[in-house]
Structure 1
Amino acid sequence: MNKKQRRQVLAEVYAERERLLPLRGQASRTTIEMVRSSAGSVREPEMVPYLNLAYLLGVKRGLGEDALMAFALSLANWAVAAVAEVARCTERTVEQVVDVYETAIMAAGAELAEEEKVPLDEKTLREDFLNDEFLEGED
């Protein structure tokens, strides 16, 4: 990427950040709700991706693309801060912490047999794992 392209990208990033800034408070609250809900389900790790996806779809369908983008930015910021904190507390580098999680995720994916990769249906998600506020506006 040359200097002119880099400036264009930075200008676009700055403009998008300014445009999404009014959504920051709502995105942060949604992030906190999602983290609390999903982290509470770590005893059932196979459910965490479904819960997270339900939050993302709920934001997208209920609040729109801009709110989804603000939520994604909030999640990314939280992830970076959490990884940096884990690294600090465990006296590891950020790269070492990321490597541990990357290895665990790859191993978990490799361990799943094809028959275990059966997706959950929406009824199961609604009844067992989500409260209806996540799925509002979806009908």
Structure 2
Amino acid sequence: PEPKKNFYRRFIYEPFPVESSLHEQLTDHLNAEIVARTIKTREEAIDYVTWTYFFRRLTANPAYYDQQAALLETTDFDKQRDMLANYIERLMNKCLDELIRSGCIELKEGAVVQDGGPPSAAVDATKLGRTASLYYLGHRTV
């Protein structure tokens, strides 16, 4: 049928972006990185996310990931940057809070000083967190 031909023709010849789903599984990824000691502080967790494909897509299509970000298209660059930083911080706090509630990590406020800066919150994996990471279990499972 003709409608299907048009659909497939458009599908083949018109590029469409592939969006990230990391934000849906970010809590378990963070747990694995904390267990591996790649992430030792809340700030390192935020920095970690900025190096991912998720962050690239977030900056390119913020409305897909955050409803508040739909306003970004009408704001200036500084406001966009602040709104994205706010979204990343909210997302990170949510993920770390979930890991704390599930007993996978412990947060130690003011425990780490990096490069002479202000004290930062250190994150340490617990036995449950290490078990979840070792056996590829979700943080809710343990």
Q: Same fold (TM over 0.5)?
A: no
Higher helix share: 1
Larger Rg: 2
Higher strand share: 2
